[in-house]
Structure 1
Amino acid sequence: MTVVFEELDYQETPLGVISLRRRSEPRLNNKILFEIKLDDEYLMSSLFTEAEIQLSKICLAALEGDELDVVVGGLGLGYTAWAALENPAVRSLKVVDVMAPVIDWHRRGLVPLGTQLTSDPRCTLIHADFFDVATSKTKDFDGLAYSEGQPHPQVHAVLLDIDHSPSYWLNPGNSAFYTEQGLRDVSEKILSGGIFGLWSDEPPAADFMALLNRIFESCESHVVSFPNPYLGTDSTNTVYLARKA
């Protein structure tokens, strides 16, 4: 039976009411879409996923080796994580999300990629504030305290897809991450030659590129185009890629 509209979950969180819904889109031959909303704001749609996928593909293609450890900040509908796991060079993937309901949706198979992510032994879903653990000098990406006397673990890539852009945040508290100190903190958790990648809904920002260039050895921006059937033309997002010296 064709789905017209179904709210799959609706939960209160510290950041507002988050909901998952599945609906038919009559303008697209009743294509079934999955959408995430926070209060009245759309966070993600399964119709527009190309840039989230390219965040993984572009950034991981810039790495060498076949035993890569990767962290993704922000789970959403799972497309960035799924694209990372499609890369056979990925040895481990940690996906950090502050929203417990979002992790629960994947574990319950309520979203299209949930079963694929949760059944892959390389993938771990972590309920934590990405910005807290990414900039912490005492905790790893699991949110666990560093072991005394042991070297702090580092990863080959940190890929971030949480805020709309470096200057448009879901939570004003996230803004501290997009500063010289916040980015220096996360760079310390990345191995030499590793990658920091960021998705943005906005065109490349010269000031943010200049900030990345002060912290990382090099950076570049990739404009990702994808069809927007509502507009009858292409839309674009941006993927930032910064490499640690």
Structure 2
Amino acid sequence: MIPWEHLDSAPIPDSSETLRLKRRGREYSIMLGTNELMNSRLFGSEEALARLPIEKLGTPTPHILIGGLGMGFTLRAALAVLPPQAKVTVAELVPAVVAWARGPMAEVFAGCLDDPRVQVHEGDVSALIRSAPAAYDSILLDVDNGPEGLSRPGNDGLYDPRGLQFAKTALRPGGVLSVWSAAPDAGFTRRLKNAGFGVEEAKVKAHRGKSGTRHVIWLAVK
């Protein structure tokens, strides 16, 4: 068994915790303490986070906001199905994650940050959501491990009733809020419905094309 190699550490803004990037052969892992936030071998549900809402959009020039760069799987899945006229804004809170994408994980990202449709914002996605009424056709949130798996207390503001109203305001008519979670959450489904969204809940495979763990994607339509 090839041992894990520690590549880098990065503090999370407004938090006492630290992200750690590890590599084992061609496999990468981003850890928060003893909790693995993402792994380069598990990406099926991250791809679904982009594919499912974009399938619902009818505009030829969509503007997509992605909250959380991670390992770029959601971004690449979005670029694969979006038209040339689309625009994708990626908000990443931890600057080192963007540096990792261009450095030790460049092979995983395969140049997707250089796509002319992509703009990277190093900062909190909630700031973009709250400052841009009717700006986005879809907002894709892959922050922490879902609405109840928070590593940063401030992220709760994305998923509470007030945060959902901000997201709804930031969407254009017919826009879709897509939220990733490691596990079901009936309370969050109720909050989405109470916010006035039309809600679908999809259970998707964590690993594309294989059985095993399933994650949850909420599709909330304005």
> Residues 40 and 226 (structure 1 numbering): CA distance in 2 closer, same or farther, change over 3 Å?
closer
What are the within-5 Å matches in structure 2 for residues 1-245 of structure 1? 4-14=3-13, 15=15, 16-24=17-25, 32-89=26-83, 91-108=86-103, 110-134=105-129, 136=130, 139-140=131-132, 152=133, 154-203=135-184, 205-226=185-206, 234-244=212-222
**The structure with more radius of gyration:** 1
For residues 153 and 104 of structure 1, do their structure 2 counterparts lie closer, same or farther at Cα, with a shift above 3 Å needed?
farther
Task: Tell me the distance in 1 between the aligned counterparts of 2:207 and 2:51.
Answer: 19
How far 1:37 sits from its partner (Å)?
A: 1.2
2:214 is matched by which residue type in structure 1? T
Q: Provide the rounded CA distance (Å) in 1 between the counterparts of 2:205 and 2:104.
A: 29
Q: Return 5+ residue gaps in structure 1 as ranges.
A: 25-31, 141-151
Q: Structure 2 stretches of 5 or more lacking a match? A: none
The CA distance in 2 between the partners of 1:69 and 1:13, in whole Å, is: 27
Structure 2 Cα separation of the partners of residues 46 and 118 of structure 1 = 17
Task: Tell me the alpha carbon deviations over residues 140-173 of structure 1, each in whole angstroms, 9 at most, x when there is no partner.
Answer: 4xxxxxxxxxxx5611000000121212211122
Partner Cα separation in structure 1 for residue 114 and residue 78 of structure 2: 14
Secondary structure of the corresponding residue to residue 23 of structure 2: strand
Secondary structure class of the residue paired with 2:143: coil
Q: Give CA-to-partner distance per residue, 1:21-68, whole Å, 9 cap, x none.
A: 2104xxxxxxx3111112332110011110000010111101112211
1:55 maps to a residue whose letter is: L
Offset at residue 227 of structure 1 (A): 5.2
Separation (CA, whole Å) in 1 of partners of 2:190 and 2:205: 23
| Cα deviations by residue, 1:101-136 (Å, 9 ceiling, x for unpaired) | 0011123363434342222010111101112332x3
Report the CA distance between 1:4 and its aligned residue. 4.5
In structure 2, the residue matched to 1:146 is none
Contact 2:135–2:170 (8 Å) recurs in 1: yes
Following the alignment from structure 2 to structure 1, what is the Cα–Cα distance between the partners of residues 19 and 207? 27
Match of 1:145 in 2: none
Once the two structures are overlaid, the 10-residue window that deviates more, 6-15 or 53-62, is 6-15
Contact 2:11 / 2:94 at 8 angstroms: preserved in 1?
Answer: no
> What corresponds to 1:144 in structure 2?
none
Instruction: Determine which structure has greater relative contact order: mean sequence separation of CA pairs < 8 Å that are 6+ residues apart, divided by chain length.
Output: 2
CA–CA separation in structure 1 for the residues paired with 2:178 and 2:2: 36
TM-score when scaled to structure 2?
A: 0.89
2:206 & 2:58 partners in 1: Cα distance? 28
Letter in 2 for 1:214: N
The normalised TM-score by structure 1 is 0.81
Q: Percent identity?
A: 26
Return the letter of the residue paired with 1:242.
A
RMSD: 2.3
Counterpart CA distance in 1 for 2:56 and 2:41 is 27
8 Å Cα contact 2:180/2:216 also seen in 1: yes
